[in-house]
Amino acid sequence: MPPGGGPMTDCEYSQISTHGSSPMESPHSKKRIAARRKWEVFPGRNKFFCNGRIMMARQTGVFYLTLVLILVTSGLFFAFDCPYLAVKITPAIPVVGGILFFFVMGTLLRTSFSDPGVLPRATPDEAADLERQIDIANGTSSGGYRPPPRTKEVIINGQTVKLKYCFTCKIFRPPRASHCSLCDNCVERFDHHCPWVGNCVGKRNYRFFYMFILSLSFLTVFIFAFVITHVILRSQQTGFLNALKDSPASVLEAVVCFFSVWSIIGLSGFHTYLISSNQTTNEDIKGSWSNKRGKENYNPYSYGNIFTNCCVALCGPISPSLIDRRGYIQPDTPQPAAPSNGITMYGATQSQSDM
C-alpha cells in the first residue's frame, strides 16, 4: 500500500467536493469518491500502510536502522552463541533470550505503528466559530487587525495551566498537548518525537515505548553478558586469541552491545524517573514544574505517590484514537460545531481496526 498523507488543506481532510457531477460521470466513479478513507487525505506529515492500519512518521530511516541493529545482533547471538551455551551451561539461555527478543520486537512495532494520540484539526466551520468566540471574549470585531491571543488559562488541581492556540490545527491544545513540527500534528500528552521508533511518543503509545526501551536494556545486557561468557569458556580451552578467531560473530555482538548499552540504560532510567513523577520529556526539558519558576509552582498531574503514578502510566486504559483514520469520508454529513470551551475534539469515533 503506498504511503498517504502530506500537507493538505483542512477542507480536504474534513470533506470532499460537493459540486454536482457532470453528465459524463458514472455511478461507479461517484462510489469511488465516496468510499475514500480519512487517512488518504490526512493533513499531517505521516505515512500509512495496510489501508491506514499502520501510521508512522514520514522520516523512518533511523527506525529501519533500529530494526537492523536488533535483528542482526540477536540473530548472531542465537545462531553462534546459543548452541554452545545451551550445551555448556543450560538450555534455558536461548529460551529466555527468545522471550526477551519477541517482547522487544512486539513493543517496538506497537510503538512505531500506532496513533500516538493525534488531535484532529478543526474544520473550516469550527475554526471560524472559534475565531468568533475569541473576538467576542476580547471585545474585538471580526475585521480587527489585532491577532487572536495565543493562550487561555485553566485551573488543574489548583495550578494555573496555559492552553496554547495552534495556528496550524486551529485549536486550543488541551493540557500537556504539543505540536510536533516533524509530523505536523498536535499530539495529546506529547512526550517527544523519537526517530529511533519512527513515530511521535504520546498519550496512546508512551507505555509501549517505555516497555520497549526497558526490555531492550535487559536484552542488551543479557546478550553482552553471555557473549562474554561464551568467549571466556572458549578461551579456557583454546586460548583467548584463538577464541576470538573462532567466534568473530561474538566479537561483533560484544562491540555493538558495549557501545549501545549505556545510552539504553540511561534512557530507561530517565523515563523511569519521568513515570514515577508523572512528567513528560517535553515538560522536563522546559522545566514546566521546576521550583525555579516560583515556590507555588508544582506538577498538578502527579498523584503524590510513585506507585500510583506508575500504575496510571503503565496500567491505565488506553484512550481511543480521535482521528478515525480508517473511517470513510461522508460528503453530505454536516460537520460538528466547535465545543464552547474552544478545545476541538471532533471525530472521536474509533474504527475497530485502529491500533
336/46 Cα distance (integer angstroms) = 25
Residues 133 and 232 in one domain: no
Predicted pLDDT of residue 204: 96
Position 218 in a domain: yes
Residues 283 and 142 in one domain: no
Q: Compute φ and ψ for 295, nearest 5 degrees.
A: -65, -25
The length of the chain, given as a count of residues: 355
Predicted pLDDT of residue 311: 94
Question: Per the confidence metrics, is the pTM higher than 0.75?
Answer: yes
Residues 125 and 228 in one domain: no
Lowest-confidence segment of 7-11, 115-119, 151-155, 313-317 by average pLDDT: 7-11
Residues 79 and 109 in one domain: yes
Residues 82 and 161 in one domain: no
Position 38 in a domain: no
Q: Where does a domain end: 156, 173, 190?
A: 173
Specify burial of residue 108 (Cβ count, 10 A radius: 0-12, 13-18, 19+): buried
Check pLDDT > 90 for residue 334: no
Terminal alpha carbon distance of the chain: 17
Lowest-confidence segment of 27-31, 127-131, 158-162 by average pLDDT: 27-31
Read off the pLDDT band of 307 (50, 70, 90).
very high
Specify which of 20-34, 52-66, 321-335 reaches the highest per-range mean pLDDT: 52-66
Position 89 in a domain: yes
Read off the pLDDT band of 343 (50, 70, 90).
very low
Q: Which domain holds residue 150?
A: 120-173
Q: Which three cell numbers stand for residue 243?
A: 577464541
Residues 94 and 202 in one domain: yes
Q: Which three cell numbers stand for residue 171?
A: 485549536
**Residue scoring higher pLDDT (187 or 141):** 187
What pLDDT digit, counting tens, does each position of 219-256 carry?
Answer: 999 999 999 999 999 998 888 888 888 889 999 999 99
Residues 134 and 188 in one domain: no
Catalytic pick among 166, 194, 200, 257: 194
**Residue scoring higher pLDDT (350 or 97):** 97
Indicate the angle between helix axes 61-76 and 206-238, nearest 10 degrees: 40
Amino acid at 341: N
Amino acid at 110: R
Check pLDDT > 90 for residue 104: yes
Check pLDDT > 90 for residue 21: no
11 is catalytic: no
What percentage of the chain has pLDDT greater than the value 90? 58
Position 160 in a domain: yes
Question: Is residue 170 within 8 Å of 122, Cβ to Cβ?
Answer: yes
Position 217 in a domain: yes
Residues 6+ apart with CB under 8 A from 279: 288, 289, 299, 301, 302
Residues 158 and 282 in one domain: no
Residues 166 and 283 in one domain: no
Position 62 in a domain: no
Check pLDDT > 80 for residue 179: yes
Position 333 in a domain: no
Report how many domains make up the chain: 2
Average pLDDT over residues 54-64: 95
Read off the pLDDT band of 288 (50, 70, 90).
confident
Check pLDDT > 90 for residue 201: yes
Check pLDDT > 80 for residue 205: yes
Residues 282 and 261 in one domain: yes
What pLDDT digit, counting tens, does each position of 157-171 carry?
Answer: 888 888 998 989 999
Position 282 in a domain: yes
Question: Is residue 322 within 8 Å of 345, Cβ to Cβ?
Answer: yes
Average pLDDT over residues 328-353: 46
Residues 194 and 296 in one domain: yes
Specify burial of residue 312 (Cβ count, 10 A radius: 0-12, 13-18, 19+): middle
Average pLDDT over residues 186-209: 96
Q: Which three cell numbers stand for residue 328?
A: 470513510
Q: Where does a domain end: 173, 190, 217?
A: 173
Instruction: State how far Cα 13 lies from the chain centre.
Output: 21
Residues 193 and 269 in one domain: yes
